[in-house]
Amino acid sequence: MAVRVLGMGAIVAVAAATLFSLFVVPADLNQGEPQRIMYIHVATAWLAYLSFGVTALASVWWLIRRDFRADAIALAGAEVGVLFTASTIWAGMMWGRPVWGTFWDWGDPRLTTTAVMLAMYVGYLLIRRLTDEPARRATRAAVLGVIGAINIPIVHFSVIWWRGLHQGPTFGSPENVLNPPAPGQFVAALLLMLGAFSLAWLWLVINRYRLARLESATEDAVRRGQLAGLAPAGESSP
Amino acid sequence: MTALRHHLGVAGVIAAKDLRAELRGRQAVTSTLFLAAVTMLIFGFALGPDQERLAAAGPGLLWLAVILSGMAALGRLHHLETEDGAFELLGLYPISRTGIYLGKALGGLAAMLALGVLVLPLTVILFAVDLATAGPALALVIVLGAVGFAAVGTLYAGLTVRLRAREVLLPLLLLPVVAPLLLASVSATAVLLAGDPFAELMGWLQLLMGYDLAMLLAGGLTYGLALEE
């Protein structure tokens, strides 16, 4: 029930934040209308990193305690994280094309890091799908979850350095070019969107966690032969 | 101290076993040397015949050839273990898991270095890159890059070796994770070839060392978990 209320709240909040950032806040004078994409972009980016942080912590929890709830949390974090990472990159490209003049900037450490991150966690989801035995799947995934988290700052750092070598086109960072310079409304829109998306994120993670628990209960039942008819195609029922 | 000696002892035995198997014709790594050579040739076709363009791309192509064929080598080194259930047996021995990991990584490192030794002269011959200007520091870059790749590649090969789709999954998992390694080794090589005009080499070497250390640590701690499951 509480989760359902959370879901309703998320819908209302996202709708309100969208209306606010589209119609109430003025467009940035330098970047024009595309600047409004930034509200969504920043919110999804922040939550994507949070998701993989959740996955990393849950992975460590699994490796220490072998608790399947931890594995379900790790899965929920990774799957929602991939969704938010993909949205971040998509929104970033849609913003970058009109403002930077290009979809992709190899010298931008945030963009490059996010792309590598997306690739890493798509792999994480794939190895889960390809491993049938639950404990083995959880362990393999957990190792990837931990390495991924270690690797993200290294990738970010290395791209910052790399950019120093390959001097790319110089862009002002979006924080500096917001105009008018006293951006109370911009900040309000950003925070509102972040709050709304956080609610939606929480709702997605909780529901994905519940689904993962149900899936693993079904898996157990199939393994014990109680639900032989539900055995997925291609696997012989016990 | 005795614990460390135990880890290293196990590592030595495992690495020696892999080396002996290779010398007796298991062909896990030898075939990947030819793969590296063919890869270099194909790069030439893709980017040539403009000599200048090839020379400019030289450091990147060198490392791509090492990494692509190295991935095959590490995968093969692990795949051989699955024959006759050798990997499962290895997991049953009451010996240090970290030692097993270090041993497999050491075998992988030997393979990576062999690949490096082959690919370096090929870069000179095929892409007209004058490696002599890079000097002996290039050897250090190669070793650091090889250590990092063997460290994380061995861990991932161990994770994927029992999957049916390992040929696809190993590259898919490994390539994004080695992104900083590729970036650092290619940049360090390019910087060395240019004579390090902005004193950037040290930073890249430090990055490589940090990466190597982090991945060795992660591998030493988690490889055994994949073995025991």
Average pLDDT on A111-135 reads 92
**With contact defined as beta carbons under 8 Å apart, do A221 and A227 qualify?**
yes
Percent share of chain B, pLDDT over 70? 98
Model confidence pLDDT, tens digit, residues A136-166: 999 999 999 999 999 998 888 888 887 765 4
Does residue B75 carry a pLDDT above 70? Answer: yes
- Cα A65 to chain centroid distance, Å, stands at 26
pLDDT score recorded for residue A176: 47
- In this structure, which amino acid lies at residue B22? E
Does residue A168 carry a pLDDT above 50? Answer: no
Say whether A127 and B160 touch across the interface (CB within 8 A): yes
pLDDT score recorded for residue A164: 62
pLDDT score recorded for residue A82: 97
pLDDT score recorded for residue A170: 40
**pLDDT band (50, 70, 90) for residue B50:** confident
Which range among A46-55, A80-89, B14-23, B80-89 shows the weakest confidence by mean pLDDT? B80-89
Model confidence pLDDT, tens digit, residues B173-213: 999 999 999 999 999 999 898 887 777 888 899 999 999 99
Handedness of CA B213, B218, B221, B224 (dihedral sign): negative
**With contact defined as beta carbons under 8 Å apart, do B191 and B204 qualify?**
yes
Say whether B183 and A120 touch across the interface (CB within 8 A): no
Model confidence pLDDT, tens digit, residues A57-116: 999 999 999 999 999 999 999 999 999 999 999 998 998 888 888 888 887 888 888 999
**With contact defined as beta carbons under 8 Å apart, do B98 and B92 qualify?**
no
Percent share of chain B, pLDDT over 90? 52
pLDDT score recorded for residue A85: 96
Pairs of CB atoms within 8 A across A/B: 84
Q: How many CB atoms lie within 10 A of CB B160?
A: 27
A123 interaction partners in chain B (CB closer than 8 Å): 169, 172-173, 176
**With contact defined as beta carbons under 8 Å apart, do B157 and B105 qualify?**
no
A51: closest CA among A29, A69, A75, A77?
A: A77
Can you read off the two tokens belonging to residue B7? 């880890």
pLDDT score recorded for residue A169: 41
Q: Which residue on chain B is closest to A136 by alpha carbon?
A: B229
Candidate from B163, B191, B222 with C-beta closest to A131: B163
How far apart, in whole angstroms, are the C-alpha atoms of residue A81 and residue B207?
Answer: 27
- In this structure, which amino acid lies at residue B204? W
Average pLDDT on B52-78 reads 92
Does residue A178 carry a pLDDT above 70? Answer: no
**With contact defined as beta carbons under 8 Å apart, do A199 and A6 qualify?**
yes
